[in-house]
Amino acid sequence: MNNTKSGSRSQQQLIRNLNKQIKKNPLPAAIILVESEFRPLPIRLFEYLFFLYCSIMGRGRILKLSLGLSQVQFRYWLEYYGYNKSFLQFVRLFENQKSNYYIVEWYINQNNFRDLLDLSKIYTGKKNMYYVKKLVEALEIIKITRSDNMSFLQGLSNKNIIDNWDTLISHSLKKADNIIIEKIEKGQDQLIKSRKELGATSWFVIECFELPENYFAVMLEEGHVINYVLLKYDQTNDEFFSIYESNINENDG
């Protein structure tokens, strides 16, 4: 595992991408962190070539090949995701972080384990204290990174949201879906406090990034005016709340 307590950049990005899943259960993500460290991308690429060779030659051992970020045996990939896939479709599954999370979660839940030592036996074939140590390190990295994920809120205000925009974007999980963008544009009269200029009638979303814990960093434009906004999405009530907005003063609204 990376020597720094907060993990490597790629580990932090994986944790951000799996933030919603980790909130429910961090253990599958910890296993992926450990296994992808043991099997970095160059080695996995070699494994995929061997996997292709075995599939062409009809070798029986293909079912027991450990594959993907999570190094789950191919027979379990087949059981969980089905048989009707091409080689490239399987490789995409093997490299997809969420696909790996769900198959690991499913796989370990098929077995009874009381602690990480029991889990090490499930995953490595025998009780392995070194594997337990790596899992503990991974869980600590997850804990620290998820705490750091919310640091973008510290010191943020209407006045400095533009200056901190790059920091906000660096915490993004992905670009927001079109459905989210449509909701923001349709609900803008209740969300956006800045007055429209020059007779403009609507704000248009230029960029929208999903942040941890259902925050969204949104750049809007009307005419030649740009507005930077931080929104919070309430999933229960399916509505947005404006947190900070660049084009208003602290005492406005």
Q: What is the pLDDT of residue 248?
A: 76
The conformational region for residue 179 under phi > 0 = left, psi -120 to 50 = alpha, else beta, is alpha
Q: Enumerate residues 6+ apart whose C-beta is below 8 A from 12.
A: 6, 145, 148
CA-angle at 227, arms to 225 and 228, nearest 5°: 155
Q: What is the pLDDT of residue 251?
A: 45
Taking the C-alpha atoms of residue 84 and residue 52, their distance in angstroms, rounded to an integer, is 15
Q: What is the pLDDT of residue 145?
A: 79
Q: What is the pLDDT of residue 162?
A: 94
Longest dimension (CA), the chain: 71
Taking the C-alpha atoms of residue 208 and residue 228, their distance in angstroms, rounded to an integer, is 10
Read off the pLDDT of residues 52-88 as tens digits, 9 standing for 90 and up.
Answer: 999 888 767 899 999 999 999 999 999 999 998 999 9
- Dihedral, CA atoms, 48, 53, 54, 56, nearest 10 degrees? 120
Q: What is the pLDDT of residue 197?
A: 63
Average confidence (pLDDT) over 108-136: 91
Is 104 within 8 Å of 35 (Cβ atoms)?
A: no
Burial (CB < 10 A; 0-12, 13-18, 19+), residue 25, is: middle
Q: What is the pLDDT of residue 59?
A: 67
Q: What is the CA radius of gyration of the chain?
A: 23
For 202, the token pair is: 């609507």
Question: Which of 159, 151, 205 is CA-nearest to residue 180?
Answer: 205
Q: For the chain, what percent of residues have pLDDT higher than 70?
A: 92
Confidence tier at 253 by pLDDT (50, 70, 90): very low
Average confidence (pLDDT) over 17-33: 92
Average pLDDT, the chain: 88
Confidence tier at 17 by pLDDT (50, 70, 90): confident
- Whether residue 200 has pLDDT greater than 80: no
Average confidence (pLDDT) over 7-19: 84
